[in-house]
Structure 1
């Protein structure tokens, strides 16, 4: 079992606005929102023959919910290129898309207020099930155009190699 070191001076939880996403060894530009990491395990109810009125519960299959990434629309085509690995418009005989590399592992990193890496999660075998290239466009709005990808995945786990950082102290003169 991993041994955790605890920062006894930290009382506040980490904020949700300092994060980065990494895949294929590099950081993804401009990600402004990452959906929640959520898993659900089915409950299997069963009864023993001798139990007249009560049932027992056991864990069943575990499902990992899709993760949605959002970022502002730019000339960076990473989201689109990954989405095109699964579906490629106009592909015909001889130009089909290879599904050999349509899955990617991804790392989501959370940083503390001092900009130090505090927590990381590894997300396994992700692939794009939904791609939104442009949002609704509205000439009367005052907003950034956001594109999204929805990533199906086969599980995630906390990276135990990332330990709680020793936070710097503010020098008062």
Structure 2
């Protein structure tokens, strides 16, 4: 297998998906165990030229960003609930001032060095699950989730890949 080389780093193996941190308000989100994928889609606009009726042409249209879900074991930490409550919570007005946050996602290598960083711009909580399905016949961890809607994501290209130990 040929190595890939970036910034003086020779690597044979791709990065693992279990070494990550998510930050908002400058703090790491406590207890996060799972994050959905970052993905975007661009609508295909099909059109044809009247002088060439047998062929369809395609061009890019509107780009949309899929929502991302964050999951963590349920604890007494109220960060998920506090953010979710800022958007149309029952009995309280919406917090127009601060219902949106920028979220940072950092990926680490096996030596716990940050290797990639993405910024999710203007996120807000579009779904909140306070309690999962409860089942007395299982011994599973109770999982709390939020789904974030956001406008764009950007990779931090200024981040310099560290030399691996």
Contact 2:8 2:163 (C-alpha < 8 Å) held by counterparts: no
TM normalised by structure 1 equals: 0.89
2:30 alignment counterpart: 29
Matched residue count? 160
Matches within 5 A, 1:115-130: 115-130=112-127
CA RMSD of aligned residues (A): 1.0
SS in 2 for 1:81: helix
2:94 alignment counterpart: 97
| Matching of residue 161 in structure 1 with residue 158 in structure 2 | yes
SS in 2 for 1:130: strand
Q: How many Å apart are 1:49 and its aligned residue?
A: 1.5
Largest Rg, 1 or 2: 1
Query: Distance between the aligned counterparts of 2:115 and 2:74, measured in 1?
Result: 29
Q: How many Å apart are 1:52 and its aligned residue?
A: 2.4
TM normalised by structure 2 equals: 0.94
Runs of 4+ in 1 over 2 A off after TM superposition: none
1:47 alignment counterpart: 48
| Matching of residue 131 in structure 1 with residue 128 in structure 2 | yes
Q: How many Å apart are 1:48 and its aligned residue?
A: 1.1
- Correspondence for 2:7 among 5, 8, 14: 5
Where do 5+ consecutive residues of structure 2 fail to align? 1-5
